[in-house]
């Protein structure tokens, strides 16, 4: 069929009922960027059918026509480090108390909260997330499974279940309720203890190599046993490691990613490059540092420039050394009073990579093709025939400025249009 069925919805809106056609849609854009090949395609249109990119063509055809000729199209974004079941209203000043507060919520309450975060994240162009703990006991995998029969279009979820930690995990000493938020492990290692992860079909594992901002560190022997066990079950293991010592230990134990790695040193990055261990840097943009600084007395947040100087150095070094990098927002603070939604906060973390000196194409790759490769999904994060039709369009090309990411004009997930704003004249 041909026609203009899509032109009727071209006034700026977020669609609660997605537009979906079994018929094909031919999308013409100003340019299409494929992060996998690093190519900018001009004069090419995309044909989307049954949720997939059916073909790339320069010839008009009989499909419904969608004119995005003012937009730059890229694949839907991926966030490898979310906490959609977590919020912190204290700007990280009283994180442990916030965990206790959330522990009192019912599972339904927490899941409904998480769905709100998903809606917000989708509006910012993220079509895939990996949630890494602070999700109660397997609320993430339960929500993932329930989305399969949900008519609402939300980002697809990869879930790790609760983070595996030792001692007090990220709680303050003496607080009760740790077991309903973290999965506590100890030596001697017993396989059976970890059967809930297999029963709930987690997509990966999150381990706390250190408990920062809590006290303590996982014993190396336990970390090794956990990595060996979960690798035997074909599950990737991610280690929360903020300092160099815990990152070094985790890299040696053979984890698949280091989350945060703020204090990571060259020797550890070299080992990661050699073993192809991902760095998932969770950074703060200038705007977010300033907002946090108003409420958190930690000297870390006094100067965004100083923070970016330190963290940017290790981030650029990781790229130079060939460490695979995947985007992680670690967005968990509630900054809604400062008019920053969860989705916007997520984007700020990606913009921070640019502020720390990563080139625009690398910034986009961390949140598309490189993140998809970490998830083992070669149908995501790229533009090619047969790939999943997750697309985001921008008037200001994010290849020119990361700030362009803040204003998506078009969002499609699985071939379904969820946002379409008519381009400005
Ligand atoms: Zn985190």
pLDDT in tens, 347-391: 999 999 999 999 999 999 999 999 999 999 999 999 999 999 999
In contact, 392 and 29? CB cutoff 8 Å: no
**Do residues 33 and 84 share a domain?**
no
Q: What is the CATH number of the domain that holds 31?
A: 2.30.40.10
Q: Which among 368, 413, 423 has a CA at the least distance from the CA of 48?
A: 413
Residue 408 has pLDDT above 50, yes or no: yes
- pLDDT at residue number 214: 80
State in Å: Cα 160 to ligand 1 middle.
Answer: 12
Give the position of tokens 């709100």. Answer: 116
Residue 275 has pLDDT above 60, yes or no: yes
Q: What are phi and psi of 55, to 5 degrees?
A: -160, 165
Q: Which residue has the higher pLDDT, 132 or 166?
A: 132
- pLDDT at residue number 425: 61
93 Rama sector, left if φ>0, alpha if ψ -120 to 50, beta otherwise = alpha
Residue 345 has pLDDT above 50, yes or no: yes
Structural domain of 70: 13-75+383-420
Average pLDDT score over the chain:
93
State in Å: Cα 334 to ligand 1 middle.
Answer: 14
**Do residues 113 and 17 share a domain?**
no
State in Å: Cα 163 to ligand 1 middle.
Answer: 10
**Do residues 337 and 268 share a domain?**
yes
- Asked whether residue 193 is assigned to any structural domain, the reply reads yes
What sign for the dihedral angle of Cα 203, 209, 211, 213? negative
State in Å: Cα 96 to ligand 1 middle.
Answer: 14
**Do residues 142 and 66 share a domain?**
no
Separation of alpha carbons 275 and 312, rounded Å: 22
State in Å: Cα 83 to ligand 1 middle.
Answer: 7
330 Rama sector, left if φ>0, alpha if ψ -120 to 50, beta otherwise = left
State in Å: Cα 419 to ligand 1 middle.
Answer: 28
State in Å: Cα 314 to ligand 1 middle.
Answer: 19
The DSSP letter of residue 217 is: B
Q: What is the CATH number of the domain that holds 233?
A: 3.20.20.140
Q: In whole angstroms, how far apart are CA 15 and each of 46, 63, 102, 122?
A: 22, 22, 30, 12
**Do residues 60 and 96 share a domain?**
no
- Asked whether residue 62 is assigned to any structural domain, the reply reads yes
State in Å: Cα 132 to ligand 1 middle.
Answer: 7
State in Å: Cα 236 to ligand 1 middle.
Answer: 17
Give the tens place of pLDDT for each residue, 134-163.
999 999 999 999 999 999 999 999 999 999
- Of the pLDDT bands very low, low, confident and very high (cuts 50, 70, 90), residue 14 is low
Share of the chain above pLDDT 70, in %: 94
Give the tens place of pLDDT for each residue, 250-264.
999 999 999 999 999
Going by C-beta distance under 8 Å and a sequence separation of 6 or more, which residues neighbour residue 408?
Answer: 123, 124, 125, 392, 393, 394, 419
Share of the chain above pLDDT 90, in %: 84
- Asked whether residue 5 is assigned to any structural domain, the reply reads no
**Do residues 137 and 278 share a domain?**
yes
- Asked whether residue 159 is assigned to any structural domain, the reply reads yes
């Amino acid at each position: 069929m041909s026609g203009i069925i899509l032109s009727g919805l071209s006034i700026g809106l977020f669609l609660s009922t997605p537009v979906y056609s079994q018929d094909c849609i031919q999308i013409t854009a100003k340019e299409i960027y494929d992060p996998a090949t690093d190519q900018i395609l001009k004069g090419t249109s995309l044909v989307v059918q049954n949720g997939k990119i059916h073909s790339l063509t320069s010839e008009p055809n009989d499909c419904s026509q969608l004119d995005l000729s003012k937009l730059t199209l890229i694949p839907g974004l991926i966030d490898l480090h979310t906490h959609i079941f977590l919020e912190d209203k204290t700007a990280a000043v009283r994180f442990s108390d916030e965990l206790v507060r959330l522990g009192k919520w019912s599972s339904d309450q927490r899941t409904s909260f998480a769905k709100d975060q998903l809606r917000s994240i989708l509006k910012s162009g993220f079509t895939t997330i990996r949630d890494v703990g602070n999700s109660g006991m397997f609320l993430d995998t339960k929500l993932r499974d329930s989305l399969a029969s949900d008519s609402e279009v939300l980002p697809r979820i990869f879930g790790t279940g609760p983070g595996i930690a030792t001692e007090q995990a990220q709680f303050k000493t003496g607080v009760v309720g740790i077991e309903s938020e973290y999965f506590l492990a100890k030596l001697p290692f017993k396989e059976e203890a970890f059967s809930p992860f297999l029963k709930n079909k987690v997509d990966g594992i999150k381990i706390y190599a250190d408990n920062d901002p809590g006290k303590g560190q996982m014993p190396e022997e336990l970390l090794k046993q956990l990595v060996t066990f979960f690798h035997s079950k074909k599950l990737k293991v991610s280690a929360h490691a903020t300092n160099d010592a815990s990152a070094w230990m985790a890299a040696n134990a053979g984890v698949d990613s280091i989350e945060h790695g703020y204090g990571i040193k060259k020797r550890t990055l070299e080992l990661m490059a050699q073993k192809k261990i991902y760095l998932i840097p969770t950074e703060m943009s200038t705007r977010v540092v300033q907002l946090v600084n108003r409420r958190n007395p930690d000297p870390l947040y006094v100067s965004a420039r100083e923070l970016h100087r330190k963290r940017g150095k290790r981030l650029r070094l990781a790229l130079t050394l060939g460490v695979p990098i995947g985007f992680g927002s670690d967005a968990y603070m509630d900054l809604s009073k400062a008019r920053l939604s969860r989705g916007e906060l997520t984007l700020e973390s990606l913009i921070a990579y640019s502020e720390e000196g990563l080139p625009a194409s690398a910034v986009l790759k961390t949140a598309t093709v490189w993140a998809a490769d970490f998830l083992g999904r070669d149908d995501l994060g790229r533009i090619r025939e047969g790939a999943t039709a997750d697309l985001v369009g921008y008037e200001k090309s994010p290849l020119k400025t990361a700030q362009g990411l803040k204003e998506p004009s078009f969002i499609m997930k699985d071939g379904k249009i969820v946002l379409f704003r008519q381009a400005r004249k």
